[in-house]
Chain A
């Protein structure tokens, strides 16, 4: 069974631009979460989607948004990029909203210049 896939794997943007990252969960998984990993802050929760609805949101500004489609695929958008948004963005999926374990994708490395 294929794991969580994320595209693109690497991305370079400049300040002020916007970016969209994509995540395809494990087949049959309906919950998708996004995390940001930076050297200073570690892994931090961004938001979770289940059945196209945002269920939970972390402490990030409104420039960070996401959505989930009917096939459970998810996208994350960051507008007006700042240098501090440079990070590894990780997507994770779980089967249902009652499942305890999340499985992570390989991440998208975003560099903001």
Chain B
């Protein structure tokens, strides 16, 4: 059973417009969420994160919103640039205590920014 879901496998956006990538989760034990960006043949690159005690975190062109009641988070990229074209992964950490750390990933959304 997928605990982290990214229901859109792909998304195309015009350069300069907003990109919105969505992620849903089911596990109430998740307390920290991260977005990673991945190019082919490379490892995921950390983009931005948010703790479950917040509802918004912003870093430059990237903003992550968290709606705990809906178990939903989204990543907004404004303005979108061609270099943003990549696969974006949503990840969630469950707080299982004793410093134990495990990320559960969604299947990813491939973003294409069209010049």
- Chain B residues whose C-beta falls within 8 Å of the C-beta of A103 in the assembled complex: 46
Kindly identify which residue among B32, B43, B106 contacts A90, using a CB–CB cutoff of 8 Å. B43
> How many residues on B have C-beta within 8 angstroms of the other chain's C-beta atoms?
26
| B54–chain A nearest beta-carbon distance, Å | 12
**Selected interface stretch from A14-22, A41-49, A63-71, A74-82:** A41-49
Distance in angstroms between the alpha carbons of A106 and B98 in the assembled complex: 28
Main SS class of interface, A: strand
Number of A residues near B (Cβ < 8 Å) is: 28
Is the beta-carbon distance between A102 and B103 smaller than 8 angstroms? yes
Asked if B12 lies at the interface with its beta carbon under 8 angstroms from chain A, I say: no
**Contact residue among A4, A98, A102, A109 (Cβ-Cβ distance under 8 Å from B99):** A98
With contact pairs A42-B106, A42-B107, A43-B89 given, residues A104 and B101 touching in the complex (Cβ less than 8 Å): no
Query: Which of A44, A101, A105 lies at the interface centre, i.e. has the most chain B CB atoms within 10 A of its CB?
Result: A101
Q: Knowing A97-B99, A100-B32 touch, does A45 contact B104 (C-beta < 8 A)?
A: yes
CB interface residues, B 23-48, toward A, < 8 Å: 32, 34, 36, 41-46
Q: How far is the CA of A64 from the CA of B69 in the complex (A)?
A: 37
- Whether B99 contacts A101 by the Cβ 8 Å rule is no
Judge whether B42 and A106 touch: CB under 8 Å. yes
Given A4-B43, A104-B45, A107-B43: A56 touches B102 (CB 8 Å cut-off): yes
Q: Are B100 and A56 in contact (CB under 8 A)?
A: yes
**Which one of B45, B103, B107 lies within 8 Å of A45 (CB-CB)?**
B103
Residues in A neighbouring B96, C-beta threshold 8 A:
56
Any A CB within 8 A of the CB of B56: no
Which residues of A are found within 8 Å of B51, using beta-carbon distances?
100
B101 CB contact (under 8 Å) in A42, A44, A55, A90: A55
Task: Known pairs A43-B105, A101-B34, A105-B43; list 7 more (Cβ under 8 Å).
Answer: A42-B108, A48-B102, A56-B96, A92-B103, A97-B100, A100-B93, A101-B49
**Which A residues have a C-beta under 8 Å from some C-beta of B?**
4, 6, 31, 33, 35, 42-45, 48, 50, 55-56, 58, 90, 92, 94, 97-98, 100-107, 109
